[in-house]
Structure 1
Amino acid sequence: MGGQVGIPTHSSYHAGKWGLEGFTESVSREVSDFNIHLTLVEPGATRTGFASALQYTTETTVYRDNAVGRTRHYLETADESVFTGDPAKLAAAIDDTTRHPRPPLRLTLGSDTYSAIHAALTERLTALETQKDLAESVAFTH
Structure 2
Amino acid sequence: MSKTWLITGISSGFGKALTEQLLANGDTVIGTVRKDNKDIRDLQENFPDTLDVSHLDVTNLDEIHQVVKDAFSKHKQIDVLINNAGYGLFGAAEELSDDDVNLILATNLTGSIQMIRSFIPYLRKQGHGRIIQISSYGGQVAYPGNSMYHATKFGIEGFCEAVAQELKPFNIGVTIIEPGGARTEFRYGSAHVANLMPEYDQTPTHDFLKMLDPANGLAPGDPSKMASRIIETVDQTPAPLHVVLGSKALRETILRLTDRLHEYQSETDMAASTDIE
The two structures share one fold, judged by TM-score above 0.5:
yes
CA contact (8 A) 1:39 1:105 kept: yes
The one-letter code sitting in structure 2 at the alignment partner of 1:83 is A
Which residue in the other structure is 1:62 paired with? 199
CA contact (8 A) 1:47 1:80 kept: no
Change in Cα spacing, 1:17 to 1:57, as seen in structure 2 (3 Å) is closer
Which residue in the other structure is 1:133 paired with? 269
- Post-superposition shift, 1:55? 6.1
CA contact (8 A) 1:40 1:107 kept: yes
Deviations 1:57-97 (A, max 9, x none): 5642210122212233x224344754111111111101111
**Local SS of the residue matching 2:244:** strand
Mapped partners of 2:222, 2:216: distance in 1: 11
Which residue in the other structure is 2:131 paired with? none
Mapped partners of 1:110, 1:4: distance in 2: 14
The one-letter code sitting in structure 1 at the alignment partner of 2:245 is L
Which residue in the other structure is 1:83 paired with? 219
- Post-superposition shift, 1:50? 3.2
Write the mapping of 1:1-142 to structure 2, written as runs, cut at 5 A: 1-53=137-189, 54=191, 56=193, 59-72=196-209, 74-79=210-215, 81-141=217-277
Change in Cα spacing, 1:20 to 1:80, as seen in structure 2 (3 Å) is farther
List structure 1 runs of 4+ shifted beyond 3 angstroms. 54-59, 76-82
**Which consecutive residues of structure 2, in runs of 5 or more, have no partner in the other structure?**
1-136
- Post-superposition shift, 1:12? 1.0
**How large is the Cα RMSD of the aligned pairs?**
1.9
The one-letter code sitting in structure 1 at the alignment partner of 2:206 is G
**Local SS of the residue matching 2:243:** strand
Decide which moves more: 19-28 or 57-66.
Answer: 57-66
Task: With the length of structure 2 as denominator, give the TM-score of the two structures.
Answer: 0.47
The one-letter code sitting in structure 2 at the alignment partner of 1:66 is T
Identity %: 34
The one-letter code sitting in structure 2 at the alignment partner of 1:7 is Y
The one-letter code sitting in structure 1 at the alignment partner of 2:198 is T
CA contact (8 A) 1:47 1:81 kept: no
CA contact (8 A) 1:6 1:14 kept: yes
The one-letter code sitting in structure 2 at the alignment partner of 1:63 is Y
Task: With the length of structure 1 as denominator, give the TM-score of the two structures.
Answer: 0.88
The one-letter code sitting in structure 2 at the alignment partner of 1:69 is H
Change in Cα spacing, 1:71 to 1:26, as seen in structure 2 (3 Å) is same
- Structure ranking higher in strand proportion: 2
- Post-superposition shift, 1:39? 0.2
Q: How many positions carry a matched residue from both structures? A: 140
**Which consecutive residues of structure 1, in runs of 5 or more, have no partner in the other structure?**
none
